[in-house]
Amino acid sequence: MLTGSAVVATQPPTATAADSCASLGACYDNVGISPDSDPSVANFDRHGNSYSQEALTAAGAARGAAINSSGMRFTFPDVPVGASDNTVAQGQTISLSGTADKLGFLLSASNGAATGTGTITYTDGSAQSYTLSSPDWLSTTPPSDGALAISTDRRNGPETSYPTSIFSQTVALTPGKSLASLALPPGGPLEPSSPALHIFDISSVTTSDASVAVTNPGNQTSVAGTPVNLQIQASDSDPEQTLTYSASGLPTGLSINPGTGLISGAPTTVATSTVTVTATHTAGATGSATFTWTVVAPTCRVTTKQAQYHKPVLGYYFYLVMIDITNTGNSAIPGRWNLKFTFGEERGIVRNPDGYVVSPTTGRNMTVTENKGVGINPRSTVTVSILTYYYSTKPTPAPPATFELNGKRCTR
């Protein structure tokens, strides 16, 4: 059913080819949906096959259901069992009214893929041609400029084990012009050996009716080398539509997920950037937010070395790992700080160094926590010596390579 400012109703009576109809539903001329209990009431392809009403319902396409696809909101045919529920395109003229930016078609094809060109007429007498293309209803691959709107696992008919599909496709209109009518693509009566386009619904959308707002996350500060995750929030006046996210000016090393709006990565360059995040409504409406993102240098530097503590015992190697932590910033790092790091192999801790706790006591990922409240003054260095063991045929393991002090990456 057409939505927005262009209005077309749906519902039967059956029409013949090249008729003029007040609505798409008034031109319905094919019964393509049947209940599993009585498949004989429908014949979508003239081979005795039809869509299963139960399978459609399970896929979200019950009679009268809202179907969201290609940025459009369609209404699935709501007709009695055995009544015509789709129109085979044969050049019928459908009355339209109002203005819109796009028309959407909920469609499929029988007996092979089908393509046809129709005409849209405006009230000022101008017209534009449009083309509809649909794969066969047993295909799951949408048209190149469309989408898969509905997919089921079976059909009704002599052989039921075929999945079925219904697709969506959109046509851009001339902005600001009032619609008068559209002529469906021409075609002959439905025949068993001829591909045919079947139209279930026509919808419309007007970009000016939609509004998108992006919540400004505020100015951001990150440490070079430290992973970040920033979720961008946006609202859409039509929650049935889909938003796509983009961003300009992101610090090097960061990217935005176009589907979720999550900015992630690890910034690599110390600099201040002006970032603009944009959310785009499927119909074309946009919203944006601009903020600064400052990447600062790490305030800590870590160097490591290790030495074999004594000869291996029963295959276990013992190594003393010495970690030097330097405060490269201009303010003190308060006590109770923690330093996270990862070994290249499973290790165990023989004992905790004085003034520190290492946890867990076995594994690859470990954290050293200062437990006496002693901080690190600017330009000062503290050394943590950890006695470790591991079991391996490789006598010289690598020391940890990356470190995070209080959740911020340190340089090496």
pLDDT tens across 296-336, in order? 888 899 999 888 776 677 778 888 999 999 999 888 999 99
Percent pLDDT > 90 in the chain is: 68
Residues of the chain with CATH 2.60.40.290: 300-407
Q: In CATH terms, is domain 300-407 a member of 2.60.120.330?
A: no
Tell me the per-residue pLDDT of 264-293, one tens digit each, with 9 for 90 and over.
999 999 999 999 999 988 767 889 999 999
CATH code 2.60.40.10 region(s) in the chain: 210-296
Tens of pLDDT, residue by residue over 159-181, are: 898 999 999 999 999 988 999 99
pLDDT in tens, 328-381: 988 899 999 999 999 888 899 998 898 999 999 999 999 999 999 999 999 999
Residue located via tokens 């789709």: 86
Instruction: Give the CATH fold of the 210-296 domain.
Output: Immunoglobulin-like (2.60.40)
Predicted TM-score of the model (pTM): 0.57
Please give the average per-residue pLDDT across 104-119, as a whole number. Answer: 97
